[in-house]
Amino acid sequence: MTQIGWIQIDSLFVLDGLKSLILLVSLVITRTLVVRWISRNPTLSMESKRRWVVTTRNSIVFVFLIGLVVIWAHELQAFAVSIVALAAALVLATKELILCWSGAALRVGGKVYAVGDRIQIAGHRGVVLDHDIFATKLLEIGPGQSAHLYTGRVTVFPNSLLFTNPLIKENPEQEYGLYTLVIPIKTDEGWQRAERTLLEVAKAECAPFMEEAARQMKLLEQANLLEAPSPEPRITIQLPEAGNMHLVLRFPAPDRGRSRVEQSILRRYLIEMTKA
C-alpha cells in the first residue's frame, strides 16, 4: 500500500477516535447533569430517584454503544469480512476433521452402531472393535461380502464415510436373523430335485432353533410395528443368464452361528446331491 493510502487510513482512524471521544464526553456531561437534576428534584421519592438514576445510566451506556457502532461501522465491516475469510479458510483446511467429528456425533446421536456390531460401509466389512471422534476400527470379516470368517486384519475408516456411504448393520440388535445362500446350477441339471433337496436340508438344519427364531420375529414385529417375515426356509429362483440359474435360499440362523449353519447346509446339500 502506498504512503498516501496509509495516510488516508490513519486520518480516518484518528477522525473516528475523535468522534468517539466527543461522544463519550458529551454523554458523561449529559449523565452528570441529568443525575444532578434527579437528585435535587424534591417531588421524587428516594426509591424513584434511585430507579431514575439506574435507568439513566443504562440508557447512556446503550446510546454510547450504538454511537460506537455507527462511528466505526466501516471498520467493523472490514473486520467482519476478514473474519469471514479466515473462517472459510479454516473450514476448507479442516473439512475432513469437521466431517469426522460430525460423523461421530451422528453415530452417537443416532445410535448407528456400537462395539461388537457387524457392519458394512464403503467396501469395509467387519466387527466394530473401537471408535472415537475421528475413526472406527473393524476386525475384518471375509473374504468378500458373502463369507463370515475373520481374516485377522484390522480395518480403520474415518467417520466422514457415514455422510457419503450407506451403512449396513448385519445384526440389528436381535439374537436370530434371516440370511441368504445362493446355489448356482445349470438349468439342465434337474433343478427341481436340487431345489427340493436344498429345502429339505435347510429345514433339517434349522429345526432345532426354528421355534425360538419365530418368537424373535414376533418380538421384532411388535417392536417395530411391521409385519415380520416367516422364519421358515424358502427358495426363490433367479435366471442371471441363459443356461444358468440361481437357487436363493433364505434361512434363519443365530446371529453368532450364521457361518456354522450355512456351512452345514452346504455340506449336507452336496452330500445328498452326490448320492442322487
CATH assignment at residue 193: 3.30.70
The whole-angstrom separation of Cα 155 and Cα 128 is 9
- Residue 245: the pLDDT is 93
Specify if 14 maps to a domain. Answer: yes
Q: What's the pTM? A: 0.54
- Residue 194: the pLDDT is 93
CA dihedral 196, 198, 201, 205 (to 10 degrees): -140
Specify if 216 maps to a domain. Answer: yes
Q: How high is the mean pLDDT in each 10-residue block of the chain (276 residues)?
A: 50 78 88 85 77 81 84 71 75 81 88 86 88 89 74 90 88 75 88 93 93 84 72 92 91 84 93 85
The whole-angstrom separation of Cα 114 and Cα 256 is 16
Question: Structurally, how many domains does the chain consist of?
Answer: 3
Residues 224 and 194 in one domain: yes
- Residue 44: the pLDDT is 77
C-beta of residue 124 within 8 angstroms of C-beta of residue 138: yes
What lies within 8 Å, CB to CB, of 245 at 6+ separation is 184, 185, 186, 187, 191, 237, 238, 239
- Residue 1: the pLDDT is 46
Residues 149 and 119 in one domain: yes
* Element (DSSP H or E) covering residue 246: strand 244-254
